[in-house]
Amino acid sequence: MRPIPVVFHIGPLQVHTYGIGLALTFWFAYRYFAHRLARAGWRTDWLWATFIWIVVSAIVGARVVHVVANFGYYSQHPGDIFAIWNGGLSSFGGLAFAVPIGFASARRRCPELRARDAADLVAPVLVVAWAVGRLLGPQLMVAGGGKPTHQWFGMYYAGEVGKRLPVPIFQAVECFAIYLLVIGVERVVRRRGGPVGAVTGIAAGLWGLSRFFDEYLWLGHDNGTDAVEIASLCFFAIGLGVTGWLFWRDRRRPRDTAEARAPLPVGTSS
pLDDT at site 83? 75
pLDDT of residue 113: 94
**Closest C-alpha among 197, 138, 199 to residue 165:** 138
| Residue 187 belongs to a domain | yes
Distance CA 246, CA 73 (A): 43
Domain range enclosing 153: 7-261
Residue 177 lies in a domain: yes
- Does a structural domain hold residue 2? no
Looking at the structure of the chain, the number of domains it has is 1
Q: What is the pLDDT of residue 39?
A: 95
Please check whether residue 268 lies inside any domain of the structure: no
Whether 83 is in a domain gets the answer yes
pLDDT of residue 227: 78
CB-CB contact of 97 with 28 (8 Å): no
Question: What is the C-alpha to C-alpha distance for residues 66 and 68, in angstroms, rounded to an integer?
Answer: 6
In a domain, 200, yes or no: yes
Q: DSSP letter for 140, please.
A: G
**267 in a domain, yes or no?**
no
**CA–CA distances in Å: residue 188 to residues 215, 232, 264:** 31, 26, 19
Q: What is the dihedral of CA 167, 89, 199, 40, to 10 degrees?
A: -120
Residue 270 in domain: no
Q: How far apart are CA 230 and CA 181, in angstroms?
A: 24
Rounded to two decimals, the pTM is 0.83
Per-position pLDDT tens, the chain of length 270:
566 666 766 777 777 777 888 889 999 999 999 999 999 999 999 999 999 999 999 989 988 888 887 778 888 888 888 877 666 778 888 899 999 999 999 999 999 999 999 999 999 999 999 999 988 888 877 777 888 889 888 888 888 888 888 999 999 999 999 999 999 999 998 888 889 999 999 999 999 999 998 888 877 655 555 778 888 999 999 999 999 999 888 887 765 444 444 454 444 433
